[in-house]
Amino acid sequence: MDYQGNIDMPEEVISSYLDIVLAGFHDSTGYTGTTIEENTAAMIAAIKNPYVHIISHPGNPKYPVDVEEVVMAAKEYNKVIELNNQSFVCRPNSFPNCNKFARMAKKHNVLVAINSDAHICYNVGNNDIALAMARKAGIRKSQIINTSTQRIGEYLNWHKQQWVNTKKA
């Protein structure tokens, strides 16, 4: 990612081969931001990217952001904030930031995706901590985008229609 919302995947691949796109900060990908302001600007630019659907592991403490500003942008652009179990394993000290994202998502009625983000087969489907966090924050089932394939499909179809309408305008 960069400050213009570009992601490290060619547009022709995204538009032709991918049904759903997650974007998030990852080490060694060329992103050089270090401040809350830079990271927030980059994350919001990714939210504005019409191909991006979900912001992945936004609570990573290595890339601090203004949580409320990011959540408000997600609301404005109807994007999803991810809460995942792997953040608590491979991103030490993520819990407070993820918890803040969960509370802000509840407060502003923003969609979330809850998953394992498993980095090994033994953890696939293990989302207990992320789910408990969402429940404790008061996130309603209606805010969770990945409760069924139908719900995800409806979201993606809505998003695709918005993109088509924007292109026609």
Domain count, the chain: 1
The answer to whether residue 52 sits within a structural domain is yes
Is 3 within a domain? no
82 pLDDT above the threshold of 80: yes
Which residues on adjacent β-strands are paired with residue 83?
Answer: 114
The whole-angstrom separation of Cα 31 and Cα 126 is 29
Let me know if residue 79 belongs to a domain: yes
Q: Over the chain, what is the mean pLDDT?
A: 90
Is 72 contained in some domain?
yes
Contact partners, residue 45, CB within 8 Å, separation at least 6: 1, 2, 3, 4, 5
The CA-to-CA distance between both ends of the chain, in Å, stands at 27
CATH number at residue 53: 3.20.20.140
Residue 6 in domain: no
Q: Is residue 21 part of a domain?
A: yes
Domain holding 31, by residue range, is 11-168
The pLDDT tens digits of the residues spanning 31-65 come to 888 899 999 999 999 999 999 999 999 999 999 99
Give pTM, 2 decimals: 0.91
Q: Is residue 135 part of a domain?
A: yes
